[in-house]
Structure 1
């Protein structure tokens, strides 16, 4: 599937700082294992994509902007990165929304994927090299299901109900990624797409990997009969076929911690005989609106496309998302957006003033911001550092007496140019 255009990422002089990230499985901040490489010698990053039945809201944006930061830090350290993302373009929510709205589910999915692409372009998010739809990956899923059956990890229900499930007890380490107790796993499995009450399964928490054909649903031929992929195995197959059976980072929102990421990892580990699918499991917090969690059922979603259509600068949207740490559940409001727009304007004015100052006036800031972002993407600290620099530049005796024109481009060897490069390269923010 077509990805989206790549934004300009200017090269920043000097040395990057090795990236550390919180690993959910270890529950601590650890260095990213940049020695765990793909066959091509690159750092593999897999981030779960959208189910395209609604527009890109700020919860989506927060996740993809976070992993955009991850990739920018890796690139700043000189690493090649192979970034993969899926699109679950065959799934029950898509069918249900299409039926509700009286449209074809394929048309609904295509339209929302196009909107997602345009939103990511507006936010200057680096695109995945491989942007893969579930429909594109059916043969890969069939191969993985066959591997799971051959390993004895998967089983067919019966001839009357030929769905295929994976026995969740097959991998001894099941549960290591999420670290939830059994009661919590059972609850989330039921709430997040599982079917614990279905009779005939070996265990209530076994996950579906191949759904046999039902009337009114799309289906693909397979050695086990016509049907379609389960959700978790889709990501598992797409990731491991491009990045290898073990790769550096798997990421997504905290709501994917269980069951989705736990089962995706377990499927890969059972199919390929590895101990651990990803070196890091990284999860972003949820976004609320004015104190209430955003949800489709409440109708309180804030859409990226609506913000940009209303004239809000995408760089300000990014800054608003950076105001609190990516792992925190956090709130979005008009106040957050106003603060971000004010901050962006202050930084732009400072960059103009610093356009007549030597680069040395920004060298310390570059090093400090690199260190902040390398420390588990500490964006609040990075923003505070640039705030302090901006205030000092505009108040400094060394600053020119005039503010200058905000559209003035500073000379290439000035402090202003360096800070513009810093923000564009590491933060995806245009000054």
Structure 2
């Protein structure tokens, strides 16, 4: 699957420090310093509706992380999936009378356009689940052979559904249920029920055991495999894609905080059971954006869509600045004030006199501004502080405006001059 065009990143003098980011599993800041190549996996979209600001905030977070890594002199290998076969996509296709493949293709293309307009760095491997069915089915076979998966009779299907045995995985792999999320059993059960799980499914060994392979039902798409006709469960797809494209124990797994449990927790369990290694060194999560008093979500329909803002004439750099105005881990509510503030900020930064000192004797060092930007972003991707650094530079002017402009472009992804 092709991604989108990569924005150019200006070269800057010197190097940043390795970033320190918050690790959900350990609940502390840790240095995300790879040995050589920084390997990043971020969960992608289920393409049944357009990109909303919650999506954009997540992908902007890991765009910033990549920019800091690159500025620190690391090579980056970034993989992202597309869940182009799943219940929400099929349900939307039926509701709208559109073939599920056409709906997925349409929304994936719109997502590409949104990401390109926002100057988000694309993944090196952009992988659709439908491109990986054979590999995923083989992984399910391995788990069955190892006694870490089991079949559940499914009378209304062509075969048996297959489930992951959490307790067997805990005995066999370097993984424990709850070690990433730090949630108690009651909260895990609540989230599992709310976020695609089936705790009440008859025949399961444990309520929190997740689906690995869904046997084919009438009217649903399916693929032949050694485990029978069917399609993958949600979590196993990311495990297999990440292991194939990034290898063992990669640097960072990222996504929105609503994926901490069950998706990231169980994806890590599947990967550990398959490989004998932890999935990632750091588990990182972006906060949620609310709108009209509720978390922005497709199910509620309270979406502010990137494509609709663009169609209304909003400069994509304004959208990017509005998101950068909030720390990536914070939960916050989008209002018109965010758009107004970001519009005013871009106008100020774009002013032809911006960064040019009225009095050269009071100008700031552009090299010093660059150092402050690097320090802010290396400290848990502190974009609000980085924006304040640029605002301060504007109020004084700098001795080398071209360097400051290049720094804003390279590190914050906001191009001020053509």
Regarding TM over 0.5, the answer is yes
Contact kept in structure 1, 2:19 and 2:33, CA below 8 Å: no
Contact kept in structure 2, 1:251 and 1:282, CA below 8 Å: yes
The structural deviation recorded for 1:131 is: 0.4
Match of 1:289 in 2: 291
The structural deviation recorded for 1:159 is: 7.4
Q: How do 1:14-93 and structure 2 match up within 5 A?
A: 14-35=14-35, 41-93=36-88
Match of 1:110 in 2: 105
The structural deviation recorded for 1:429 is: 0.6
Aligned residue for 2:373, secondary structure, equals helix
Match of 2:254 in 1: 251
Q: Distance in 2 between matches of 1:351 and 1:5?
A: 31
Match of 2:164 in 1: 166
The structural deviation recorded for 1:343 is: 1.0
Match of 2:221 in 1: 218
Aligned: 1:381 with 2:381: no
Q: Distance in 1 between matches of 2:53 and 2:350?
A: 24
Match of 2:402 in 1: 417
**Which among 394, 398, 409 is matched to residue 390 of structure 1?**
394
**Which among 267, 270, 286 is matched to residue 270 of structure 2?**
267
Match of 2:279 in 1: 277
The structural deviation recorded for 1:415 is: 1.7
Contact kept in structure 1, 2:18 and 2:33, CA below 8 Å: no
Aligned residue for 1:210, secondary structure, equals strand
Match of 2:197 in 1: 194
The structural deviation recorded for 1:50 is: 0.2
Q: Distance in 1 between matches of 2:226 and 2:57?
A: 40
Q: Deviations over 1:189-224 (max 9, x none)?
A: 111000111111111111111111111111111111
Aligned residue for 1:171, secondary structure, equals helix
Match of 1:370 in 2: 374
Q: Deviations over 1:146-186 (max 9, x none)?
A: 22112211111237551111111123322111110000001
The structural deviation recorded for 1:348 is: 2.2
Give structure 2 stretches of 5+ with no counterpart.
171-175
Against the structure 1 CA distance between its residues 298 and 159, is the aligned structure 2 distance closer, same or farther, given a 3 Å change threshold? closer
Q: Deviations over 1:340-385 (max 9, x none)?
A: 1111121222764529979973111100110000000011111111
Match of 1:209 in 2: 212
Q: How do 1:339-378 and structure 2 match up within 5 A?
A: 339-349=341-351, 352-354=354-356, 361-378=365-382
Match of 1:320 in 2: 322
Contact kept in structure 1, 2:137 and 2:225, CA below 8 Å: yes
The structural deviation recorded for 1:142 is: 1.3
Q: Distance in 1 between matches of 2:366 and 2:311?
A: 34
Aligned residue for 1:328, secondary structure, equals coil
Q: Distance in 2 between matches of 1:145 and 1:16?
A: 42
Contact kept in structure 2, 1:144 and 1:237, CA below 8 Å: yes
Q: Distance in 2 between matches of 1:153 and 1:297?
A: 33
Contact kept in structure 2, 1:51 and 1:94, CA below 8 Å: yes
Q: Distance in 1 between matches of 2:257 and 2:118?
A: 22
Moved more, 356-365 or 195-204: 356-365
Q: Distance in 1 between matches of 2:33 and 2:228?
A: 40
Match of 2:302 in 1: 300
The structural deviation recorded for 1:389 is: 1.3
Against the structure 1 CA distance between its residues 66 and 159, is the aligned structure 2 distance closer, same or farther, given a 3 Å change threshold? closer
Contact kept in structure 1, 2:268 and 2:279, CA below 8 Å: yes
Aligned residue for 1:389, secondary structure, equals helix
After TM superposition, the score normalised by the length of structure 1 is 0.91
Q: Deviations over 1:16-71 (max 9, x none)?
A: 12111100000011101412xxxxx5211000000000000001000001110011
Q: Matched residue pairs, number?
A: 406
The structural deviation recorded for 1:338 is: 0.7
Q: Distance in 2 between matches of 1:190 and 1:141?
A: 24
Aligned residue for 2:168, secondary structure, equals coil
Contact kept in structure 1, 2:355 and 2:393, CA below 8 Å: no
After TM superposition, the score normalised by the length of structure 2 is 0.94
